[in-house]
Structures are given as structure tokens and as C-alpha cells.
Structure 1
Amino acid sequence: MEFVFDLLSPLQLAAVGVTAFAAALLRAFTGFGFAMIAVPVFSLLLLPNEAVVLAAALTVVVSSTSYKEWWGKFPVDQFLPMIAGSLAGTAVGVYLLSGMSRSEFQLWIGLCVIAATLATALVKPSTKQRVPKPLTAGTGVASGLMNGAFAIPGPPVVVYAMAVIAEPAAARAFLMAFFFASNVLAVMMFSVAGMVTATPLVLLLLAFPLSFLGDLLGHYAFRRFGGASYRPVALLVALALGGWNTYAGLQ
């Protein structure tokens, strides 16, 4: 236990746990938002490589426990080219992360989250179901770059899903499936790059129970209230966190 308090103060540990809970709840309700909530907060407490490893690992573990919510419920023809593009983009993103300072990391996270939040707010779902595969793969590459550099693969894919998948349940399942697969790729590449250390692994064990609870409540909320009410809250929280990280990165 002393080792844990050597990593972070009790208040900081509580912040990690509360963030993991809130991020998992939002992800289960909307299909996205875990990294957009978790990474900006984790980056205020941890080194850049620790923040991204913890966020990616939590996403993989929590997604694995609730795979029945998304498995077989998403359009595979759009999923495959996107995840292929993500593979290439993630490798480049991991390389970019290795050269960033903490302030640069926070600044770029903040700017990317703000831009993605504003773009997502402007995009409305369409009844159009098929898009060119190069566009789908290109979205995957952009997502992979953000995944490798910041462990935030969501923004390009969220905009894509909201633009081309009209059914909320199908869009939610698509996003969950993609983020599970992209974070598996990210954790593998972080491991190869030597970025997986004891700190995020210990924090993963401590944060998982709260993430699991948040995941359960988020799935219940989606079944109870549907997918129409999440957008304003999710976008407002993401915008606030993006602004805070941009401010922190400029200090």
C-alpha cells in the first residue's frame, strides 16, 4: 500500500478512480467518450506515457467485460477498412508521443478535444449507410494517429459514426467495437515501445472496479433512457476538459 501512495497522493488516487468511473459510464451510455474524459484528467496527474497506457488498458478491460453490448451489432463492412487504417496510424502516433514533453502533450490533447467536440456538435446523423472505403480507411488512419499519440482514438470516428450511421444503437455498437480493437492495437504498440511500466498497471488494478461499476450503470441508462439525451452532456464535459488541458499546456 505504501508503494501506491508513493505514486500518487490519496486525493490524486481518488481523482483517478472517480475519472475512471465517469469515463466508463459515459462510454457505456454513448459508445464513446472514455478517452476524451480520462486522458485529459490522467495527463494532469501522470507522465504522458503513463496516462495513455492507463486509459487504453482500462478501455480494453472494461470493453471485454461488456462485449455482448456491441458484438455482432455493428456494420462490419465499415469496421474492417477503418481498423486497418487505424493500425497504420497508431504506429506513427506512438512515435510522435515519444518526442513530446508533458506540456506539449497537454496542449495537443486540449486542442484536439476542443476541435473534435465542436465538429461532433455540428454533425447530425444521416440516413446514408455506405461511404467510399478510402474515406473510411482515412478516418481510421486519423483515429490511429490520435490513438498512438494521445490514446484518444475517438474524435474522427465519432464524427464519422454520427454522420453515416443513423440508428443510435448501431452507431453506439460500432464505436464500442472500434475503440476496443484500436485500444488493443495501442496497448500492443505501447508494449513494444517499452512504455508499459508498473505505475499504469497498478493504477489499472485500483481503477478497474470503479470502471466496471460505471460501465454497468451506463448500459442501464442507455437501455432505460435511449441514446438521444447524451449529446449535450458528453459534448459539454469534453469541451471543458479540452479547455482545461489547453490552459495547462500553455503554462
Structure 2
Amino acid sequence: MSLLTLGLGSLFVFLAAIVRGYSGFGFSLLVITSLSLLMPPQTFIPAVFMLEIAASLHLLPGIWKDIHWRSLAPLIIGCIIGTPLGVWLLANVPAPPMQIALAIFVLVVTLLMGRGFVLKAMPGTAASGGVGIASGLFNGAFGIGGPPVILFYFASPAGNVAGRASLIAFFLMTDLIGLAFMSREALIGWNSVTLALIFLPALVIGIWVGARSFKNADPQVFRKWVLVLLAGLAVLSGVQGIAAYW
């Protein structure tokens, strides 16, 4: 890769890392959408998983006490079930139809939440497991498993702080699972490790900037910002899927 490509890639990683440090999510979709303008997805998606793991480890000490542990177990179990199918789809099936379906689902639910829809109680084990399966499917297929779980937490009574902390812990676990399955499918090589190391400084600096901004965030403003960001990411994913047919 040329120095220009790596420089632009580092800039994209830095900007996406600011979003990740602030909200706890959004990094994968922003990076995958932007880096796909520079290189084939198979070249960098494993590296994005490695960067996601590094981002979660960087944030983990500061959010450990706020994690909603009870809700994580069924989500993780569901994700373990859904991830192998998603990885198989990544290796064998075009992603655009799934991207479009995910975008429509996220936009509809985001609109409902923007109009005031919230869950009165945390969902049960079966419903939580279903959300985890959907997340694992999308995460394994094209590295974007966040939207179902983001909606799960921000529509629940968990609260902004616990929701953000739980998302960070969830992404750490699921990215480790996804990386393991990618390794089994021979999708990871030294090029992926090298690319992740090149982008790592931009990630660390961006995460630090975003996390500092979250400390002073108003809860209501944060919730609205999350919904706007989620809708924007859904539109990006949908446009990317539709563009593949042109």
C-alpha cells in the first residue's frame, strides 16, 4: 500500500475512534465504510476486529464498575450461536442484501425510539439471546454487529452510562469470538496484523479524545446524539449495500 493510502486510512481510523471513545460504538461501520474506498474489504476487516479489541481494552478500566453484567450473558451466548453463520456468509455470500436489511431495521427502530419508545423492563433471556444471535450474524458477516445490541441497551432502563459500558464489554467479547472464527476460516494473516499495528496510534489518540468528551456529556443530549449517529450509520450501511448493485 502507498503512504497516501496508509495516511488516509489512519485519518479515517482516528475520526472513527473519536466516535467510539465518546459513544462506545460506531467504529467498525465508520472505518469499514471509509476504508472500503481505499482497499478491498477482505484486506482490512480482520484488522478492524483487532483494532476494536484494542479500543475496548483501552476503555475497559474506566467503565468496569458500570457494566450491566446480568444482561451480557444471554447476549454473548446468542452471539456465539450467530457468529459462525455470519463468518460463513462473509466467506461465501455477497453482503449487500444483509446490509440493506440491517439498515431498514435500524432506521425503523431508531425512529420509534426518537418518538419516545422505551422498554419498561430489561428483556428476558430468550429475547436477549435473539438480539445476540442477530448481532453475531451481522458481526461475522461484515464486522457490524453493533446496531441490534445498541438498540437493546438504549431502549432499556439500563441508562446511558450502564448502556455505554455494557456495549464496550460486549464488543470486546464478540470481537474476540469473531476473530477466532475468522482465524478458523483462514481469513487472518500477517498483513492483517501489520495493518492493525500501523493504525493503532491513530486509534489510541482518537479513543482518548472521545472518552474525555463523554465525561462532560449531558445524558439527554447523549441519547439524542446516539440516535442520530445510529441512524446515520444505518444510512451509510444501506447506501453501501445499494451501491453494490450499480
User: Normalising by structure 2, what TM-score?
Assistant: 0.88
RMSD: 2.2
Cα separation, 1, equivalents of 2:22 and 2:117: 17
1:30 aligns with 2:45: no
Q: Find the partner of 1:194 among 168, 186, 191.
A: 186
What are the residue-to-residue correspondences of 1:211-250 with 2, within 5 Å?
211-227=203-219, 228-229=221-222, 230-231=225-226, 233-235=228-230, 237-250=232-245
Q: Find the partner of 1:116 among 94, 106, 109.
A: 106
TM superposition shift of 1:118: 4.4
What 5-or-longer segments of structure 2 have no aligned partner?
A: none
Identity over aligned pairs, percent: 28
What 5-or-longer segments of structure 1 have no aligned partner?
A: none
Q: Find the partner of 1:133 among 125, 144, 165.
A: 125
Cα separation, 2, equivalents of 1:31 and 1:127: 21
Name the amino acid aligned to 2:45.
Answer: V
Superposed CA deviations along residues 166-218 of structure 1, whole A, max 9, x for unmatched, are 41111101111111110011111111111002332221111111111110011
- Structure 2 SS opposite 1:72: helix
TM superposition shift of 1:14: 2.5
1:67 aligns with 2:57: no
Structure 1 residues 107 and 231: alpha-carbon distance in aligned structure 2, compared to 1, 3 A threshold: same
**Alignment: residue pair count:** 241
TM superposition shift of 1:42: 2.7
- CA contact 1:74–1:171 (8 Å) conserved in 2: yes
User: Normalising by structure 1, what TM-score?
Assistant: 0.86
- CA contact 1:89–1:143 (8 Å) conserved in 2: yes
1:95 aligns with 2:88: yes
TM superposition shift of 1:234: 1.6
- CA contact 2:66–2:166 (8 Å) conserved in 1: yes
Cα separation, 1, equivalents of 2:201 and 2:120: 39
Name the amino acid aligned to 1:48.
Answer: P
Name the amino acid aligned to 1:27.
Answer: R
Structure 1 residues 99 and 154: alpha-carbon distance in aligned structure 2, compared to 1, 3 A threshold: same
Superposed CA deviations along residues 219-247 of structure 1, whole A, max 9, x for unmatched, are 10100224424236523641452254134
Superposed CA deviations along residues 60-87 of structure 1, whole A, max 9, x for unmatched, are 0121122113223122111011101101
